[in-house]
């Protein structure tokens, strides 16, 4: 098997990969992740980050000792406030201040809270502006919010790859309450200039809500410097928090008393243990909580998030830019002549840490890569394979191996064995 699948070590581009890895010097971080199959190339850190070894130990301890032995006493022995430090770690990752980020619920639920709160804070304005590159859940949420307030969503059309910046600016007017976009879009990886669009929205008197699910941990633009009002994002992608780990909510400090969480619950109450029947929100970011924190998921999420905060997003961004530039060059040299199209911006400043490659047989190729070549990536309809290069643990050598294996799978036509009908979790 390895004869067909590499290791592809006899080439100048492989030597270059090794030397780029030596320069990046990320080995110390990569070693902190569980790796059960060294031959597997994992390119889905943008969808589900790898498992940090420390998370295995920490979850074991929380289950055995804190739950098993200490039982309900653990709420007073650390559980109640355990999310606070993690919120501050995420704040440092996205360029916010301590006290501006809460860990809570899922991204979709948090988006609902902030979008509705924002639209209600702009009475008289009826429009929410977004683009056609956004994540489906975000449309469902924004439509639901528009329905609740009797407003409407205007979806600005793009070329399918690049954010339609000029058209967005034209659409943002004095009737616009909210502009809500993905910072890095999930298919093409196009990445907006946070500050530029935020200023345009502010000039029209609108609020801005960014979904940072695909940018948190890999893009160094901070929400603070960009003047961003609101943001949400998940912690299980580049932040390595584990499947379904709780998401984050960012509300700029000066807006926290002006925006009201519409999903009220006792965790957002000023005095939860008074068990009052009337809701009185607590001051600050905790008002964006609703119910009980998922302590096991929170524990699993801590090591991955702390690692990203420790390395620093500036350094991760540098490694990510290098990984993508290398992937792009190998694509042009090895894959462009096999029916692929590069469906990601060519400008390094305008992309995140994943790329999309279009091919007429993309679904079958994705299955063959998993089944025959030990490359895990995903398929995004209608015709893209998507490759995530998580800079914390993806090496240039992995980029090289994956490009060579893709070339092999397409050239050998082994993908023809796989069904053309799309099924399952893609």
Q: Which residues bind ligand PLP (CB under 6 A)?
A: 106-108, 135, 137-138, 182, 186, 211, 213-214, 234, 247
> How many H helices and E strands in the chain?
13, 13
Least separation in angstroms between CB 28 and ligand PLP: 28
* Residues 405 and 41 sit within 8 Å (Cβ to Cβ): yes
Give 106 or 253: the residue with its C-beta nearer to ligand PLP: 106
Tokens of 344: 């990601």
3-state SS, residue 339: coil
Active site residues: 135, 211, 236-237, 386
Alpha helices for 121-230 (secondary structure H): 136-149, 165-171, 194-203, 223-226
CA distance 235 to 213: 7
Dihedral in degrees, nearest 10, Cα atoms 262, 265, 266, 267:
-80
Give 140 or 279: the residue with its C-beta nearer to ligand PLP: 140
C-alpha to C-alpha distances, 104 to 110, 268, 273, 326, nearest whole angstrom:
8, 11, 19, 37
Give 183 or 400: the residue with its C-beta nearer to ligand PLP: 183
C-alpha to C-alpha distances, 248 to 12, 68, 120, 230, 417, nearest whole angstrom:
43, 28, 21, 11, 42
Phi and psi dihedrals of 53, rounded to 5? -55, -35
Least separation in angstroms between CB 106 and ligand PLP: 3
């Amino acid at each position: 098997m390895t004869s067909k699948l590499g290791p592809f070590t006899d080439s100048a581009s492989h030597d270059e990969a090794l030397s780029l890895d030596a320069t990046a010097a990320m080995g110390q971080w990569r070693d902190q992740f569980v790796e059960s199959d060294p031959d597997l190339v994992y390119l889905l850190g943008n969808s589900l980050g790898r498992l940090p070894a420390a998370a295995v130990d920490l979850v074991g301890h929380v289950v055995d000792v804190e739950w098993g032995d200490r039982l309900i006493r653990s709420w007073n022995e650390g559980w109640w406030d355990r999310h606070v430090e993690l919120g501050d770690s995420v704040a440092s990752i996205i360029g916010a201040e301590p006290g501006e980020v809460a860990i809570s619920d899922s991204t979709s639920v948090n988006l609902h809270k902030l979008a509705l709160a924002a639209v209600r804070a702009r009475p008289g304005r009826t429009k929410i502006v977004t683009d056609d590159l956004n994540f489906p859940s975000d449309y469902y949420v924004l439509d639901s919010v528009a329905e609740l307030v009797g407003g409407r969503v205007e979806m600005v059309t793009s070329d399918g790859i690049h954010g339609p910046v000029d058209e967005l600016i034209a659409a943002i007017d004095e009737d616009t309450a909210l502009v809500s976009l993905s910072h890095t879009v999930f298919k093409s990886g196009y990445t907006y200039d946070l500050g530029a669009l935020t200023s345009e929205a502010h000039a029209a008197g609108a609020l801005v809500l960014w979904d940072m699910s695909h940018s948190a941990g890999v893009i160094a633009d901070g929400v603070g410097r960009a003047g961003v009002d609101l943001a949400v994002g998940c912690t299980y992608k580049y932040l390595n928090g584990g499947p379904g780990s709780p998401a984050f909510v960012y509300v700029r400090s000066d807006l926290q008393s002006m925006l009201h969480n519409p999903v009220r619950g006792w965790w957002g109450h000023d005095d939860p243990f008074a068990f009052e029947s009337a809701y009185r929100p607590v001051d600050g970011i905790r008002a964006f909580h609703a119910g009980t924190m998922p302590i096991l998921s929170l524990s699993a999420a801590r090591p991955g998030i702390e690692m990203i905060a420790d390395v620093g997003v500036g350094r991760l961004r540098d490694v990510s830019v290098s990984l993508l530039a290398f992937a792009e060059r190998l694509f042009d040299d090895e894959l462009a002549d096999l029916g692929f199209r590069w469906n990601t911006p060519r400008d390094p400043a305008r992309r995140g840490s994943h790329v999309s490659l279009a091919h007429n047989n993309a679904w079958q190729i994705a299955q063959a890569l998993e089944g025959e070549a030990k490359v895990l990536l995903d398929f995004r309809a209608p015709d893209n394979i998507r490759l995530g290069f998580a800079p914390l643990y993806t090496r240039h050598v992995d980029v090289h191996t994956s490009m060579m294996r893709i070339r092999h799978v397409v050239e050998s036509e082994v993908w023809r064995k796989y069904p053309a009908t799309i099924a399952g979790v893609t």
